Chain A
Amino acid sequence: MILALVVITFVASASLGFIYELTKEPIEMAAVAKRNQAIGAVVPEFDNDPSGERYTIEVPDGELVVYPAMKDGEPVGAAIETFTNRGFSGEIRLMVGIRPDGTIHGIEVLEHRETPGLGDKIETGKSDFHLQFEGENPAEDFRVMIRQDGGDVDAITATTITSRAYCDAVRRAWNAYIMRDVDDTFDLPSTGEAIDRVLPPYGNNPVNEQFQAVHEGRVYNVYPGRRGRRFTGTAVESYTESGYVGAIRLMVGFDSDGIITGIEVLEHNETPGYGDLIEPARSDFHRQFIGMDPSAEDLQVREDGGVIDGISGATVTSRAYCEAVRLAYEVFLENKTPRRNN
């Protein structure tokens, strides 16, 4: 019995190994051919080898691959392999071509699992959806969001989620491209630094006393601050996925009465010059919240009937920021009584 199984599995693995070696090269070739074709389709004419000169850019939830295109030594644009996880069924990968001035030159779909007959209309050749982006520059009054979300892109009928995800991937690529040479990045604080900046004076080590709180099915890190036995405040690490480009992660500090004592941005991927103004080093946006009591004031942007002045040109980001702050407050309320990790 064992002999039979050993022989069968041995023969099976040997033949699979052989087939794997045999098909390895064609599979790689097919992937390279597809990528090169996509690069050629989305950037202006070039005479260099974009695949050979590619480099990657780290973004919060993954990495983007940039294929620079040059002609006679001058950059004519770049093809950016980008992605989104907001598709209707799984990841969508796009190749977005951007000219040096930030204008979108062309877009090709590399990979998706959207519904045939509906979501697959994002593919070039199946509909004109992608043409809306060509020749548009997101820096000049072209908001890469579907109209339902306040943008300038007509979603494919009955395919709102896929269209929204497509825009998300395009924004990710564009932001990364625009940011590639920008060297004015302020270092965002580490968790420890952020806690220190947002909490009222404390004498303990909040990181040691950190615990996790579940709120509406999501887990948040909570850092209680104490002085002796007296509870002085709480820092809540809060996050939302509804940023303009992916997730925004904040550290929000409250004193023992629930008054906001400070907010730091731990992570975001918002547009430079607009959404990134949520960083405390870049604008005073966050100061509006300090000293506020979320139970008394409506912490929403004015457009939504609240008291917060949104960052102009970055309503979506401001709205997401407010959402994260409100979530932090809800977590704070549910975990007011300080407890220790067993």
Chain B
Amino acid sequence: MDQAKNFTKGFIRENPVFALMLGLCPALGTTTSAYNGMGMGLATMFVVIMSNIVVSLIKDFVPNKVRIPSYIVIIASFVTMVDLGMAGYMPALHEQLGLFIPLIVVNCFVLGRAEAFASRNTLGSSVVDGFGMGLGFTLALTMLGASREILGSYALFGFQFIGQDGMLVFILAPGAFIALGYLIALTNKLNK
């Protein structure tokens, strides 16, 4: 397989959030600001790369019947590592993302990559896939977070450019759906 294509497929064509519609729960929940979206994206990227590596390494060793439980254990372990590491070294970000970090475990996007890609491909392609898809997820969450922050708080990455309160709806849950809808429409347009 063409590795360059393998790497870039997650950006737009198979973007986990905008095209595959996977992992929408954290994508909607954490993206109240660009910084939070990026933090969540990077945490998920780490997990997806690591779980892809391990799943690809053990794919011949794990019997077919128990592969899903095995993948879940592997993913859960990496998520817990991210959770602990973040709590220790980035307490401020950890506080913001709080509840959503453990939820990476049930993010169908991570399990989806393990099941659909890493368990069928070589270590090399799995790393590239995890990296590309992880970047695509981070990109999606950062864009979603940025558009909500720009409209909802008139700010980007915490820098306020209009000194007044923004359009509140974009900070709240409905705004997440509205912004997501427009970004999906944009992705579809680009994919045409």
How far apart sit A84 and B66, CA to CA, in the bound complex (Å)?
45
The yes or no answer to B25 lying at the interface (CB within 8 A) is no
Query: Smallest CB–CB gap between B9 and chain A, Å?
Result: 29
Residue numbers in B under 8 Å from A115 (CB-CB)? 171-172
Given A30-B87, A30-B88, does the pair A15, B77 have CB atoms closer than 8 Å? yes
Segment touching B, from A19-27, A71-79, A222-230? A19-27
Do A8 and B73 contact each other (CB < 8 Å), given the known contacts A1-B65, A113-B98, A116-B32?
yes
Q: Is the CB of A117 within 8 A of B91?
A: no
Assess A111 versus B58: contact at CB under 8 Å? Given A5-B69, A8-B70: no
Tell me if A158 and B73 are in contact (CB < 8 A).
no
Using known A-B contacts A34-B91, A117-B171, determine if residue A8 contacts B80 with beta carbons closer than 8 Å: no
* Contact of A12 with B98 in the complex, beta carbons under 8 Å: no
Per DSSP, chain B at the interface is helix
Residues of A within 8 A of B2 (CB): none
Contact of B152 among A23, A24, A34, A117 (CB under 8 A): A117
Closest chain-B Cβ to A105's Cβ sits at a distance in Å of 24
Q: Is there contact, CB below 8 Å, between B85 and A19?
A: yes
Among residues of A, the one whose C-beta sits closest to the C-beta of B173 is: A115
CB-CB nearest in chain A for B167:
A117
Q: Mark B84-126, 1 if CB is under 8 A from A, else 0.
A: 1101110100010011000000000000000000000000000
Counting CB contacts under 8 A, is A139 at the interface?
Answer: no
Instruction: Name the residue among B73, B85, B88 with the largest chain A CB count within 10 angstroms.
Output: B88
CA distance A8 to B77 in the complex (A): 10
Additional A-B contact list (19), CB under 8 Å, known A23-B89, A27-B87, A116-B171:
A1-B65, A4-B66, A4-B70, A5-B66, A8-B74, A16-B81, A19-B80, A19-B84, A23-B84, A23-B85, A25-B88, A27-B91, A29-B88, A31-B91, A111-B95, A116-B32, A117-B32, A117-B153, A118-B171
Q: B: which residues have CB within 8 A of A?
A: 32-33, 58, 61-63, 65-66, 69-70, 73-74, 76-77, 80-81, 84-85, 87-89, 91, 95, 98-99, 152-153, 166, 168, 171-172
Instruction: Across the A-B interface, give the 9 residue pairs with the lowest CB-CB distance, nearest first.
Output: A26-B88, A117-B171, A23-B88, A30-B91, A116-B32, A12-B77, A23-B84, A27-B88, A1-B63
